[in-house]
Structure 1
């Protein structure tokens, strides 16, 4: 039966499969984009419920569920993530913004860790260098660490210790 199929028929089936799979895949891409926009939105703002300071994605209260439904509806109406977030923050306040903007006093929170790391790292390097310079060099091969009397005394102590065992 395969030998009886013409090249035109094979191409027809091939194109049909390719075109219909494109029709099936396209809505999933749009739904996937909407889903990723929703996730981005839910991660970027805190819930105003008062339970604890959690993003809407993590919060399990009823308020968070209602906000999530509202965000889904607004996204389906064609609003962008930025528009929805701006409206939410305008309504409830900027204290519910989970992503801190690098402006004003918030800039200190971004710069301070690097500043302290630089300062404490420099102090650590200086302390280590100072300690290294204080360590005396080992004696040269010609110098004796112990004189003969000290060496004899130490050998006697070792012998006494061995005899006691």
Structure 2
């Protein structure tokens, strides 16, 4: 039969399991952070290859592959995402920055859609309100839609139709 372990031994084994599992998990977290940093960096700049305007993350050319390896090396050397991106943009130009900064003329691109939505939305609301008011005015004015002659002609046509049936 199995012996029952003292509570101190159980606590000791439990403590060893917890501590060793923490040691195993910690390096994975560090590796995961650098991988997410690399992913964020690859999404933030365009490839300069000329194939198509795609971020380095999705570009499939050899140039993009070389840039990925270069970025990995720079991250492993301890450079930050901002430093690497600034160096890349300084080397190849601001047209390869995938994330537009909200400064200068770029503010127009951020503000213009809301401005146009406000203006055209207001115009649409005014047009709809005018059309509604015109419809209610014609209904409420009490004008006859058909005059007496037209009404008599219509009644005659209905009678002719009934007789033909």
Class of the TM-score when normalised by the shorter of the 2 chains? 0.7 to 0.9
**Paired residue secondary structure (1:89):** helix
CA contact (8 A) 1:46 1:96 kept: yes
Aligned partner of 2:102 in structure 1 is 102
How far apart, CA to CA, are the structure 1 residues paired with 2:63 and 2:13?
A: 51
- 2:82 maps to 1:82: yes
TM-score normalised by the chain length of structure 1: 0.87
How far the C-alpha of 1:154 sits from its partner, in A, is 3.7
More divergent stretch after superposition (119-128 vs 155-164)? 155-164
| Residue matched to 1:69 | 69
SS at match of 1:138: helix
Q: Deviations over 1:83-132 (max 9, x none)?
A: 10011111111110000001111111001101100110111111111111
- Write the distance in 1 (CA, Å) between the matches of 2:57 and 2:164: 73
1:30 corresponds to? 30
Per-residue deviation at 1:8?
1.2
Contact kept, 8 Å, 1:139 with 1:145, in 2: the verdict is: no
Q: Distance in 1 between matches of 2:152 and 2:140?
A: 20
The structural deviation recorded for 1:48 is 0.4
* CA pair 49-145 structure 1, distance change in 2 beyond 3 A: closer
Gaps of 5+ in 1: none
Partner of residue 115, structure 2: 115
